């Protein structure tokens, strides 16, 4: 088995925890704004220098005195057949495990949550558009709805993440509908779209949405009783619900 990337240390990917980050290849979505094209497209993955997992696992075995957690991200990690074994191995080493997911494979979440040995300690669920718009990015409405319910019912600590897209692509109405998938206690982070290395190069000509727009959408989430925050905007905060 191979990884598409490895970051030895991160202070920002796992809340409150010093973690290593492993990147798994391939994704079943095609978000035009995606910055991980090298992890998503099979042709790019085929050209990339992939890392044998054994080398990374050996490294993680030696770093237990320094690191506290491992973040498994992608691409979309639930596409990797060996995901349960990976989680089990990192937990066995004593790490806390965070899983990032686009919510497209609820059956995998159900499977790994059902066993203590493969249950992640923290989940980040991306909520990209209103569920009925998921076919625009290669997903489907039912899967994202089901995943959000499974995550909420799992009792596992989790967060939601939404990128505010350019050209008004993510609308006020989207946020109102997405809010139905979000529980009130878990943080819901709103961050700005960034042009530069988008999967669909036409998106590189779009500018970052105005801060006012990001604040506005975040405030809609707050007005629906959610614990919403801004992320990735310097010197700007939005009052989350206590």
**Chain residues in the site for ligand SF4 (CB under 6 A):** 27, 29-31, 34, 36, 40, 74-76, 102
Q: What is the CA radius of gyration of the chain?
A: 18
Question: What is d(CA 102, CA 124) in angstroms, rounded to the nearest whole number?
Answer: 9
* Residue listed under structure tokens 């798994």: 24
Query: In the complex with ligand SF4, which residue's Cβ is closer, 195 or 219?
Result: 195
Query: In the complex with ligand SF4, which residue's Cβ is closer, 102 or 162?
Result: 102
Q: Quote the least distance from Cβ 139 to ligand SF4, whole Å.
A: 8
Q: Quote the least distance from Cβ 219 to ligand SF4, whole Å.
A: 24
CA angle 90, 91, 97 (to 5 degrees): 75
Query: In the complex with ligand SF4, which residue's Cβ is closer, 88 or 102?
Result: 102
Q: What number of other Cβ atoms are within 10 A of residue 200's Cβ?
A: 12
Q: Quote the least distance from Cβ 156 to ligand SF4, whole Å.
A: 20
Cα distances from 207 to residues 114, 151, 165, 166, 203, in angstroms, run: 43, 33, 9, 7, 9
9 backbone dihedrals φ, ψ, rounded to 5°: -145, 140
Query: In the complex with ligand SF4, which residue's Cβ is closer, 58 or 107?
Result: 107
Q: Quote the least distance from Cβ 92 to ligand SF4, whole Å.
A: 28
Q: Quote the least distance from Cβ 10 to ligand SF4, whole Å.
A: 17
Q: What number of other Cβ atoms are within 10 A of residue 151's Cβ?
A: 25
Q: Give the nearest residue (CB) to ligand SF4.
A: 34
Query: In the complex with ligand SF4, which residue's Cβ is closer, 165 or 222?
Result: 165
């Amino acid at each position: 088995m191979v990884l598409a990337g490895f970051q030895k240390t991160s202070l920002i990917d796992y809340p409150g925890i010093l973690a290593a980050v492993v990147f798994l290849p391939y994704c079943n979505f095609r978000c035009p704004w995606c910055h991980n094209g090298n992890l998503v497209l099979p042709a790019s993955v085929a050209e990339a220098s992939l890392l044998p997992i054994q080398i990374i696992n050996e490294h993680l075995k030696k770093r237990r005195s320094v690191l506290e957690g491992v973040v498994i991200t992608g691409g979309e990690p639930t596409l990797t057949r060996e995901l349960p074994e990976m989680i089990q191995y990192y937990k066995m080493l004593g790490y806390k495990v965070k899983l990032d997911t686009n919510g497209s494979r609820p059956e995998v979440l159900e499977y790994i949550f059902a066993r203590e040995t493969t249950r992640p300690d923290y989940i980040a669920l991306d909520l990209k558009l209103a569920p009925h718009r998921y076919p625009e990015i290669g997903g489907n409405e039912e899967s994202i709805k089901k995943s959000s319910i499974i995550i909420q019912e799992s009792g596992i600590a989790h967060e939601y993440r939404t990128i505010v897209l350019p050209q008004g692509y993510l609308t006020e109405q989207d946020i109102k509908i997405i809010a139905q998938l979000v529980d009130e206690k878990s943080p819901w982070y709103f961050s700005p779209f960034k042009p530069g290395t988008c999967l669909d190069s036409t998106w590189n000509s779009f500018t970052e949405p105005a801060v006012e727009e990001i604040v506005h959408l975040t405030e809609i989430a707050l007005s629906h009783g959610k614990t919403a925050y801004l992320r990735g905007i310097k010197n700007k905060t939005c009052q989350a619900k206590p």
